[in-house]
Structure formats: C-alpha cells, structure tokens
Amino acid sequence: MCIRDRTYKTKLTIITTNYNILTLKLNKLDNYDMKILGILTINCRTPDRQIGKKVGLSGVSVKSRINKMERAGIIQNFTMKVEPPALGYGVIYLVVPSDDESDIVKKLKLVGEPFFVVPCLGDITACGIVVEKDVEQKTELVKNLISNARIVLTLDPKESEFRADLTKTDFKILEQLLKNPKEKIDSLAKSTSLSTKTVTRTIEKFETNPAIQFTIIYDPRKLEKFIAFALLAMVQNDTRKVLKEIEAGFGDYFWQVPFTAKEMLVLFMYSDNIYNADIMHHKIKHTDGVAFTEVFFPKKITMPTEWISNSVKNASRSMKLHVPIEQ
C-alpha cells in the first residue's frame, strides 16, 4: 500500500470515528427529550413553540430534538388513538403469557381487530381487541383460542363513558388525519374541501375529547437511561379519587394521559432507573383504595388503526353517526 493510500485510509477512519461520536452524542437522551416525548404522546399536534414554553426551550430547539429522535428511531411514527367504545365498539383487554407477536395477532384477528399489541419483559404481551358486538361471547372465544390468556377487563360501548358524537364532517377530517395526524389546517381544508374554520373547530373538538388522541409510537428499547412502564391498578373505591391522590405524588412521572375504565386504572410512567420505578410501584400499590397492581415494561408497541379506517369508510356510506365495523 502506498503512502497516499494509507493517508487516505487514516483520514477516512478519523472522519468515521468523529461521525460516530457525534451521532452518539446527538442521540443521547436527556430530561428535556423525555418531557418533549411526554407532550407528544398526549398531543403530537402541539406546536414546537408551545412545547418549548412548557419545557423551557426555544421552538427551534424543540424541532431539532424531535427531528433527532425521529432519525434515531425513538419516535417511530405519529398516529391517532381512538377508544373503541366512542365509535360504538366493544373492547377486550387481556394479558397473554407469550411474546410471540405474530401468533398472538393471528389469533386476535379470529375474534376482532387488534387495538394494541405490546410485548413486555417477562415473556408476556398486553393486548386489546376491538369487537363489533357480543362482547361476552367474544370473550369466551378468546379464552378458547388462547387457553392461558388472562382477561383483565371488557368494555361494552353501552356501559362506557367514552363518547365521540361524530358527524359526517368529523369523519371526513378524521379520515385525513389518520394518514397524517400532524397535517396543517390549510392542507386539511384543501384535501377535504372544507373551510379552515370548520377544520379548526373540528380538531379542537377532537383535542378536548378524551376518547380521541393525537399521539406517537415510540421505541421503549431506545430510551437509553430512562425506563418506560405501565402500571395497572385495580381499584376498590372511586377510581377518579384514587387517581387524583396518585397524581399528587407521582404526576411528574406521568408521560401519557392515565387510562380509567370501571375499576381499572392504567398509569403510563417513566423513571431514570429500575430501582426508582420499583419504589413508585411499591408506594402506589399501598395507596388507599388500590386492591391490586401489576407493572409492565414494554419492549415494543404496536397500535393498528385499520379498524378506525374501516369505521370511517363505513360511516361515509351510511346516514348514521356511528357505524359498526362489518366483520
């Protein structure tokens, strides 16, 4: 090898090494990033400048950090979450002692449409199934298909607090937002042939409805020194009262809106290490009114929106406000 080739190779090695060091530094998460992620999970349409005011950064810095987390694969995509009862569907929540995601999804589709599938540490998977009707009958079918599945909760749309009251116009805008939850008002107005005023009013309606959420899918494995976990609590007393008490002590560690249904409370939290996560779990477990707790550490998060798309398509062909999925 000539001197010229060795010099070129040395320079290339130095450039590559410096690039890798810079990339590692850029991808390193800090508390600002976690706060930004928390806001995006609650509403990914929140403007960068508004996020900046909440976390103490400029809008430009927030945009840069979001782009960094997208490039690093921490933010996998922006999406929408709609609670099934709000559109007239039942939902079955269950835990399967397996992390074979493809096999689980295959069996879920024999019952209804997957709502979410989250493989967790400990070879277990938390799931939700969207069903059109006959929730009790479908629950028995799940037990027969997945003999070792543990049913956590079932929700019939008639007994759920989630309501959407969507109009034809709402469905039209929802259809576009499913493609791009962050689409600008002007662009939405153009693609739906509606006024910007109508689009703005509809999005505000969505944002204030707890059944509809503009959110993100993130990769739990890439949070580095931070640990994301879901804490499920079964409550004996008033669920809202218990939540208020827990929130007073641990609200700073919430990074998604807590989910409440019947006697079930699910807290989406994060910690800087496993020991602090265990301490939080222990204290919440002994909160007055909490009968049982369980912690899930997600490895991957999948939240299909096909069932929402099907609902929107059916609504566009019907005069009804809420149209069940035809299975």
Domain boundaries, the chain: 3-72, 80-219+303-327, 220-296
CATH for 220-296, options being 3.40.50.970, 2.30.40.10, 2.60.420.10, 3.30.70.1150? 3.30.70.1150
Is CATH 1.10.40.30 correct for 3-72? no
Q: Report the chain's terminal Cα–Cα distance, integer Å.
A: 68
- Under 8 Å between Cβ of 284 and 233: yes
pTM comes to: 0.84
Q: How far apart are CA 207 and CA 225, in angstroms?
A: 31
**Tell me: the pLDDT tens digits for 140-187?**
999 999 988 999 999 998 888 888 788 889 999 999 999 999 999 999
Helix (H) or strand (E) holding 216: strand 212-218
**Tell me: the pLDDT tens digits for 18-57?**
443 344 345 589 999 999 999 999 999 999 999 999 999 9
- Under 8 Å between Cβ of 112 and 142: no
Residue 213 CB neighbour total at 10 angstroms: 20
